[in-house]
């Protein structure tokens, strides 16, 4: 386990480093932030002063080494827009996105496992056909369109929930639902097909021969084994959920990492972009390791290596 | 393809009613993508200030306003059909680019292996380890959001899918007897890879392609929706949804119809690829040939 983790950490560290180098140089290609932050008629002396203050007058490689030195001490520099440490801004936005992702994937998993298992119990039944069709629809709908239609119907039309903001619980319902629909559609299909194949295995037939009831067979005997592919796909969906979070946070005005990144890109806030990329990549790395561990817990036959 | 085979395909398609409808929708979309701008170019760009934000299902202004009109009084129906060309073109170009690049790199990584193969896989890991939308946003901000850049970015984020599939299949196929036999009889590497190995990987890649087409369409729409994808005066369905967002509470139809078009096409692609997977798999094909018999 220790060897596995350290090996994986080294590879991920290398990938992370390359990613950050890439983002650093690409962000510098967009042009000087002085043009964006200063008025268009600002005198040259003012521009030079601004560049000197933020270190943009240095050659790129000097900026890069300064950046690397900061990286070691977890100092990503100051946000140009807000004048605060970039890392602090990112870490403030992170919990909102994580919470959004966590609620969405939990909701998607719960709905998908129950629906998939019940649909698999009698393939081709009416319930199965409806579940399959709905899951297919759910997996194909564009996020932003669901969000817009959701706002129209539930916020503007029926006035059940607010249109945006993060203050109360009711403001979370719509974003979580929007974010959960796509993964849920995919997971229902995975849960269904994996359940069908597990239900035809010998040990389930034995349980059936012993006279175990239907519900008991599904939820006690078969579910644990059928969960494996579901967990894999749910893990793959994690990066997708972050993608969706960018859109959902923009539409619903959530102060999460997606909105922060979009704002930083618009305002050329280099430091925040770098810190955001770094933190997101680390979060996804930790999540992948977590999934591997869950995997080993679910199926003792799998050795983590 | 002989007439008999076309009939068989049609019969199998007819047996799965959802796939049949999906195929019709896709055919219509391709038709409108090919001929839409040519037929409707004028009414899609013609402004009519008296029909500004005209509501849908109101035939008093003429049939072309059946889906309503946008803030400049342009017919939404005409614009949706008009925009299908750019939408489909971008998705198709991105999918073909990522397919070609991914397959070639996958063949190298799978057949050659070694240091080059390892390097290819590591770079793939980086691309895959990061949310594609954020990556695309950063790239599109650096390079101006023109159509070609959108295509390149979308292609890059999808290359890993083809690459990993091809590599995994090649590694398995190259140890099969017929490949070794060909190698022993002196076939060149080029011949081995493209004549013997590639044709076996191809069907898997084509199935992935149909699914991926839907994914790329959604990704392009998301980018355009966030304002970093296709820019006006070019118009895709994603751009139309974004334009309509400002009028959401007063004129819902501006965003609704183009969004519905995206949803219908991606759904049809999913249905058809599902059908394709079953129809091309001899083990599962009976499902289509005997749908009435519930007990099998």
Q: Which of A138, A108, A49, A55 is nearest to A236 (CA)?
A: A108
8-state DSSP, A154: I
A143 is a domain residue: yes
How far apart are the two ends of chain A, measured CA to CA in Å?
A: 7
Interface of B with A in 129-168 (CB under 8 A): 129-134, 137-139, 141-142
The answer to whether B95 touches B159, Cβ cutoff 8 Å, is no
Give the relative orientation of helices A2-28 and B114-128 as an angle to the nearest 10 degrees. Answer: 70
Question: B175 and chain A: CB distance < 8 Å anywhere?
Answer: no
User: For B263, which of A11, A142, A281 is closest by C-beta distance?
Assistant: A142
Sorted by sequence, the CB contacts under 8 Å of residue B240 that are 6+ apart come out as: B70, B79, B80, B83, B254, B255, B257, B258
A72 is a domain residue: no
**Rounded distance between C-alpha atoms, residue B26 and residue B214, angstroms:** 12
Q: Which of A145, A245, A244, A105 is nearest to B248 (CA)?
A: A145
pLDDT given at position B295 = 43
A133 is a domain residue: yes
Q: Which residues of A touch B141 (CB under 8 A)?
A: 30, 265-266
| B131 to A246: CB separation less than 8 angstroms, yes or no | yes
> Which residue in chain A is spatially nearest to B218 when comparing CA positions?
A142
Q: How far is B132 from chain A (nearest CA, A)?
A: 7
**Rounded distance between C-alpha atoms, residue B296 and residue B293, angstroms:** 6
| B138 to A277: CB separation less than 8 angstroms, yes or no | yes
Q: Which residues of B touch A243 (CB under 8 A)?
A: 131-134, 222
A47 is a domain residue: no
| A145 to B294: CB separation less than 8 angstroms, yes or no | no
Sorted by sequence, the CB contacts under 8 Å of residue A15 that are 6+ apart come out as: A281, B122, B125, B126, B129
Q: How far is B189 from chain A (nearest CA, A)?
A: 32
Instruction: Tell me the pLDDT tens digit for each residue of B210-263.
Output: 888 888 888 888 888 887 778 777 888 888 888 887 777 777 778 888 888 888
> Which residue in chain A is spatially nearest to B244 when comparing CA positions?
A148
pLDDT given at position B248 = 73
> Which residue in chain B is spatially nearest to A163 when comparing CA positions?
B249
| A148 to B269: CB separation less than 8 angstroms, yes or no | no
| A246 to B226: CB separation less than 8 angstroms, yes or no | yes
Domains in chain B (CATH in brackets) are 3-295 (1.10.3720.10)
Q: How far is B296 from chain A (nearest CA, A)?
A: 10
| A280 to B241: CB separation less than 8 angstroms, yes or no | no
Question: B56 and chain A: CB distance < 8 Å anywhere?
Answer: no
CATH number of the CATH domain containing A246: 1.10.3720.10
A105 is in which domain, residue-wise?
A: 86-304
Maximum C-alpha span of chain B: 77
The first and second tokens of residue B215, run together, are: 């994914």
ipTM: 0.74
List average pLDDT for each run of 10 residues in chain A, which is 305 residues long: 72 75 72 65 74 72 78 74 81 85 88 86 82 85 84 76 69 84 87 82 83 77 79 75 82 84 79 81 77 72 54
> C-alpha angle with apex A273: A268 to A279, nearest 5 degrees?
170
Sorted by sequence, the CB contacts under 8 Å of residue B67 that are 6+ apart come out as: B56, B75, B76, B77, B80, B253, B257
A141 is a domain residue: yes
**Rounded distance between C-alpha atoms, residue B99 and residue B82, angstroms:** 27
pLDDT given at position A288 = 73
How many residue pairs bridge chain A and chain B with CB atoms within 8 Å of each other? 123
The helix or strand, by DSSP H or E, that contains position B220, with its residue range, turns out to be: helix B198-225
| Total of domains in chain A | 1
The first and second tokens of residue A1, run together, are: 């386990």
Residues of chain B with pLDDT under 70: 1-2, 41-47, 49-54, 57-63, 65-67, 71, 73, 129-130, 281-296
Q: What are the helix (H) ranges across chain A?
A: 2-28, 33-37, 44-54, 60-72, 86-121, 126-140, 143-150, 170-199, 202-210, 214-216, 223-252, 257-266, 270-298
pLDDT given at position B294 = 43
A51 is a domain residue: no
Q: Chain centroid to CA A8: how far?
A: 20
Q: Which residues of B touch A178 (CB under 8 A)?
A: none
Question: B267 and chain A: CB distance < 8 Å anywhere?
Answer: yes
Based on DSSP, count helices (H) and strands (E) in chain B, helices before strands. 12, 0
Sorted by sequence, the CB contacts under 8 Å of residue A84 that are 6+ apart come out as: A78
Q: Which of B122, B117, B31 is nearest to B81 (CA)?
A: B31
A289 is a domain residue: yes
Q: Give phi and psi for A268, each to the nearest 5.
A: 55, 45
pLDDT given at position B296 = 38
**Rounded distance between C-alpha atoms, residue A220 and residue A198, angstroms:** 12
pLDDT given at position A210 = 85
A128 is a domain residue: yes
User: For A145, which of B138, B226, B262 is closest by C-beta distance?
Assistant: B262
Q: Which residues of A touch B294 (CB under 8 A)?
A: 124
Question: B247 and chain A: CB distance < 8 Å anywhere?
Answer: no
Q: What is the pTM of this model?
A: 0.79
Question: B259 and chain A: CB distance < 8 Å anywhere?
Answer: yes
8-state DSSP, B197: I
8-state DSSP, A166: S
């Amino acid at each position: 386990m220790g060897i596995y983790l350290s090996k994986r950490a080294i590879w991920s560290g290398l990938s992370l480093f390359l990613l950050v180098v890439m983002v650093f140089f690409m962000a510098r290609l967009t042009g000087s932030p002085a043009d964006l932050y200063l008025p268009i008629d600002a005198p040259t002396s003012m521009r030079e002063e601004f560049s000197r203050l933020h270190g943009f007058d240095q050659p790129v490689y000097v900026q890069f080494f300064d950046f690397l030195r900061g990286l070691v001490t977890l100092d990503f520099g100051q946000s140009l827009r807000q004048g605060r440490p970039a890392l602090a801004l990112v870490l403030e936005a992170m919990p909102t996105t994580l919470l959004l992702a966590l609620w969405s994937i939990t909701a998607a998993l719960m709905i998908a496992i129950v629906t998939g298992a019940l649909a698999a119990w009698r393939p081709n039944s009416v319930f199965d056909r409806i579940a399959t069709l709905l899951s297919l629809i759910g997996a194909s709908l564009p996020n932003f369109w669901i969000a817009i239609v959701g706002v129209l119907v539930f916020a503007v039309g029926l006035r059940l929930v607010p249109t945006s903001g993060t203050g109360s619980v009711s403001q979370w319902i719509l974003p979580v639902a929007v974010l959960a629909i796509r993964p849920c559609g995919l997971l229902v299909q995975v849960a269904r097909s994996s359940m069908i194949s597990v239900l035809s295995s010998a040990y389930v037939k034995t349980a059936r021969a012993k006279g175990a009831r239907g519900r008991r067979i599904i939820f006690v005997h078969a579910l644990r084994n059928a969960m494996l592919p579901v967990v894999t796909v749910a893990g793959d969906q994690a990066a997708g959920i972050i993608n969706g979070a960018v859109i959902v946070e923009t539409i619903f005005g959530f102060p999460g990492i997606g909105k922060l990144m979009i704002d930083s890109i618009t305002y050329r806030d280099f430091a925040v972009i770098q810190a955001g990329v770094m933190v997101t990549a680390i979060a996804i790395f930790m999540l992948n390791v977590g999934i591997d561990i869950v995997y080993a817990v679910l199926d003792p036959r799998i050795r983590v290596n | 393809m002989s007439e008999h085979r076309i009939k068989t395909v049609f019969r199998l398609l007819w047996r799965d009613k959802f796939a049949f409808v999906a195929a019709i929708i896709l055919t219509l979309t391709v038709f409108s993508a090919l001929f839409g701008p040519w037929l409707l170019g004028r009414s899609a760009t013609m402004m009519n200030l008296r029909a500004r934000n005209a509501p849908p299902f109101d035939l008093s202004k003429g049939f072309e306003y059946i889906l309503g009109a946008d803030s400049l009084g342009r017919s939404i129906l005409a614009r949706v059909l008009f925009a299908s060309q750019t939408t489909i073109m971008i998705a198709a170009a991105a999918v073909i680019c990522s397919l070609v690049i991914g397959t070639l790199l996958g063949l190298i990584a799978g057949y050659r292996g070694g240091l080059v193969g390892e390097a290819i896989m590591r770079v793939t890991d980086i691309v895959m380890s990061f949310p594609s939308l954020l990556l695309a946003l950063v790239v599109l901000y650096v390079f101006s959001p023109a159509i070609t850049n959108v295509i390149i970015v979308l292609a890059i984020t999808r290359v890993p899918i083809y690459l990993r599939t091809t590599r995994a299949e090649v590694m398995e196929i190259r140890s099969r007897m017929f490949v070794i036999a060909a190698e022993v009889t002196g076939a060149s590497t080029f011949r081995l890879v493209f004549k013997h190995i590639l044709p076996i990987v191809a069907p898997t890649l084509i199935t992935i392609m149909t699914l991926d087409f839907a994914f790329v369409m959604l990704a392009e729409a998301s980018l355009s929706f966030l304002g970093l994808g296709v820019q006006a005066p070019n118009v895709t369905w994603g751009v139309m949804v974004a334009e309509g967002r400002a009028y959401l509470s007063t004129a819902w139809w501006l965003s609704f119809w183009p969004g519905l078009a995206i949803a219908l096409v991606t759904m049809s692609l999913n249905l058809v690829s599902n059908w394709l997977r079953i129809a091309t798999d001899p083990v599962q094909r009976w499902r289509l040939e005997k749908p009435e018999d519930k007990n099998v």
